[in-house]
Amino acid sequence: MSRTAEANARARVGVVGAGQLARMMGEVAHDAHVELTVLAEHELESACDTCDHVLLGGARDEVALRQLAQLVDFVTFDHELVDLDVLTNLENSGLNVRPSSHALRFAVDKAHQRRELHARGLPVPRFLVVRTSDDAELAGWLDALRAEPVVKTPRGGYDGRGVFFPKSRAETVRLVDELGALGDVLVEERLELVGEFAQQVARGVDGSIALYPLVASVQSEGMCVEVRFPAGVSDAVLAEAEDLTRALAALVQPVGMMAVEYFLTDEGLVINELALRPHNTGHWTIEGVATSQFTQHLLAVSGQALGPVTTLTTNAVMVNVVGGEQAGSRDDASTVAGVFVHDYGKSFRKGRKLGHVTALGDHLTDTHVRAWKSARLYGTAAKGA
Ligand code: ADP
């Protein structure tokens, strides 16, 4: 096939948002037989370096989204800061939005997610959705808890933004009223966590499913610091996660990748969050699994068959590189044996996610040490070591 004919054979996928997830989709797009266009706020965004085409415009702007949809066959997402009504309009005009607005609602709106999952008997923290502290149910509901609750804004939060841990009833009441002035407030039981875990699942347009293994994640101040495969839990917990993740895929019906974040408590797994896109806890799949979450997402949204999810390593440790006191060196980070360094092409700023490193190996502790050594050389704030 000539180069032009080959390019024509590629599916055209448009990504709403141009952050590091779209950047990593761009890195594998050609292998997945996809031509990638990103909708970016500005030309310096992370994904603009790796994609085939850039369209400038906002993720919530219907005009920009319609322009994107004219250039591509399928529209997908790098984040969930989107307007579901606008997406429904696009779908009603016959455009291929994958995942659909129906599925995306589970990730965009935590209150919707909690209500739907609870109604189907799936394990979520005890919760209440309120608008003001005068709510008739709130006082009695708070009295029944053992500790102050977690207070969340159901929409627009990420990396711990929009999640609050009040220390007193007065603070809880103040938070509910402050946040309630802007919209719904999700108030939920603060669980005693044994650990945090995540599982990725891919779903094709034909409903086929590919399940990735459960991983352990370490969070610090709401941000994922480290991810470990294997998860280091019993076969019973692995089986419980698999059942829940399959049930969630059947309920949500995503097309593309879905990540499920779990809390492990004394009573078993509790579902925290869903993301309908590649996710930070799945970055290790680039080197650790036969089909990475980025390739898989593009295969699925463009209607191709899902790839195999055989694991290629006995242990993997992924560490996020977050700007510390001063910038480190990517070259130095790459000198650590068996470590793969990923740079998101962003300028250095303290507290900013700049990249990640993944170490593979036969022994978990050794793999862990190498991942952190590399991340520190790169300049991580290294909170979770
Ligand atoms: P984000 O959407 O910003 O990722 P999450 O809802 O995942 O926010 O919360 C961030 C972190 O806060 C979680 O990873 C967990 O450590 C903690 N957390 C959230 N909800 C609860 C809860 N109900 N009980 C205990 N810890 C929680």
Boundaries of domain holding 29: 3-97
Same domain flag for 90 and 72: yes
Does residue 150 line the site of ligand 1, with CB under 6 A?
Answer: yes
Whole-angstrom distance, CA of residue 262 vs CA of residue 272: 5
CB 123 within 8 A of CB 110: no
Does residue 73 line the site of ligand 1, with CB under 6 A?
Answer: no
Kindly report the number of other CB atoms within 10 A of residue 150's CB atom. Answer: 18
Whole-angstrom distance, CA of residue 275 vs CA of residue 314: 26
Same domain flag for 273 and 204: yes
Choosing from 144, 171, 188, the residue where a domain stops is: 188
Residue 160: pLDDT above 80?
A: no
Q: Is residue 234 part of a domain?
A: yes
Q: Which of 110, 113, 114, 263 to mutate to test the pocket of ligand 1 (most atoms within 8 A of CB)?
A: 263
Residue 165: pLDDT above 50?
A: yes
Same domain flag for 263 and 330: yes
The pLDDT > 70 percentage for the chain reads 96
Does residue 195 line the site of ligand 1, with CB under 6 A?
Answer: no
Q: Is residue 102 part of a domain?
A: no
Does residue 165 line the site of ligand 1, with CB under 6 A?
Answer: no
Residue 351: pLDDT above 70?
A: yes
Q: Indicate the SS3 state at residue 340.
A: strand
Summarize pLDDT for 243-266 with one digit per residue, the tens.
999 999 999 999 999 999 999 999
**For residue 380, what pLDDT is reported?**
74
**For residue 1, what pLDDT is reported?**
45
Whole-angstrom distance, CA of residue 376 vs CA of residue 326: 11
- Cross-strand partners of 107: none
Q: Is residue 113 part of a domain?
A: no
Q: Which of 75, 63, 22 is nearest to 45 (CA)?
A: 22
Contacts of 307 (CB under 8 A, 6+ apart): 210, 290, 291, 295, 296, 299
Residue 275: pLDDT above 90?
A: yes
CATH code of 253's domain = 3.30.470.20
Same domain flag for 176 and 201: no
CB 118 within 8 A of CB 76: no
Of the listed ranges 35-44, 154-163, 269-278, the one predicted with least confidence: 154-163
Q: CA of 322: how far to CAs of 163, 314, 375, in Å? A: 20, 26, 9
Residue 336: pLDDT above 90?
A: yes
Of the listed ranges 124-138, 152-166, 179-193, 230-244, the one predicted with least confidence: 152-166
Same domain flag for 87 and 12: yes
Q: Is residue 18 part of a domain?
A: yes
Mark out the alpha helices in 120-166 (DSSP H runs).
Answer: 138-143
Same domain flag for 214 and 65: no
| Residue minimizing CA distance to atom 13 of ligand 1 | 222
Same domain flag for 224 and 336: yes
Does residue 222 line the site of ligand 1, with CB under 6 A?
Answer: yes
Q: Report the number of distinct structural domains present in the chain.
A: 3
Q: Is residue 253 part of a domain?
A: yes
How high does pLDDT run on average in the chain?
94
Residue 385: pLDDT above 50?
A: no
**For residue 2, what pLDDT is reported?**
47
* 44-50-54-56 Cα dihedral, nearest 10 degrees: -30
Choosing from 161, 188, 215, the residue where a domain stops is: 188
Secondary structure element (H or E) that encloses residue 219, with its range? strand 215-220
**For residue 328, what pLDDT is reported?**
85
**For residue 347, what pLDDT is reported?**
87
CATH code of 154's domain = 3.30.1490.20
Atom of ligand 1 nearest to the CA of 217: 14
Same domain flag for 169 and 214: no
CB 104 within 8 A of CB 87: yes
Choosing from 188, 209, 241, the residue where a domain stops is: 188
Whole-angstrom distance, CA of residue 292 vs CA of residue 309: 8
Q: Is residue 169 part of a domain?
A: yes
Residue 129: pLDDT above 60?
A: yes
Whole-angstrom distance, CA of residue 206 vs CA of residue 16: 23
**For residue 8, what pLDDT is reported?**
58
Same domain flag for 211 and 150: no
Same domain flag for 151 and 232: no
**For residue 381, what pLDDT is reported?**
62
**For residue 326, what pLDDT is reported?**
80
Same domain flag for 182 and 214: no
What are 86's two structure tokens? 């606008």
Residue 384: pLDDT above 50?
A: no
Q: Is residue 106 part of a domain?
A: no
Q: Which of 155, 158, 272 to mutate to test the pocket of ligand 1 (most atoms within 8 A of CB)?
A: 272
Mean pLDDT (whole number) for 361-379 = 95
Q: Is residue 116 part of a domain?
A: no
Whole-angstrom distance, CA of residue 3 vs CA of residue 17: 28
Same domain flag for 342 and 274: yes
**What is the crossing angle of helices 20-28 and 293-301, to 10°?**
80
**For residue 383, what pLDDT is reported?**
52
Q: Indicate the SS3 state at residue 231.
A: coil
Residue 89: pLDDT above 70?
A: yes
CB 124 within 8 A of CB 152: no
Residue 3: pLDDT above 60?
A: no
Whole-angstrom distance, CA of residue 379 vs CA of residue 351: 11
**For residue 327, what pLDDT is reported?**
81
**For residue 171, what pLDDT is reported?**
96
CATH code of 53's domain = 3.40.50.20
- Its pTM stands at 0.95
CB 315 within 8 A of CB 226: no
